[in-house]
Amino acid sequence: MSIRPIKGEALIASKTKSKPVKPPGSVESFAEAAECLKTLAHPVRLRIVQLLLHGRYTVGELAEDCSIADNAMSDHLRLLQRCGFLTSERDGRRVYYQVAEAHLQQLMVCIEGRFLPCGAK
């Protein structure tokens, strides 16, 4: 009977033998990302992104879902637009918002997987 190393053990052993290759970037290069992630780090804004990943909505529709006033929703939407996460499109008297940054889908999958109860969506 032979004993095989666990995958994690082999990985740890190989890390101790040689220095890992550093990924590109620096603290300074993550400054804009940090600012935009701070903007996302609000429960209302996360819900906005979640909703908009499934379709376009007006300020009023989003405000109703989040149980906040229309003017407060407009402030949240403006912040998300500044980071390039959202775009807006006028259709007659209504303005519809939609996701402009495709990577938000992957981020939301991670957030939902970690923080939403199983089966809740």
**Beta strand extents in 6-55 (DSSP E only):** none
Q: Mention the CATH class of domain 32-115.
A: mainly alpha
Q: For the chain, give percent helix, strand, coil, nearest 5.
A: 55, 10, 35
Look at residue 119 in the predicted model and tell me its pLDDT. 59
Q: What is the mean pLDDT of each run of 10 residues along the chain (121 residues)?
A: 51 66 94 95 98 98 98 98 97 97 96 86 56
Record the pTM: 0.80
Calpha distance 50→77 (Å, rounded): 13
- Per-residue pLDDT of 74-88, as tens digits, reads 999 999 999 999 999
Calpha distance 99→28 (Å, rounded): 27
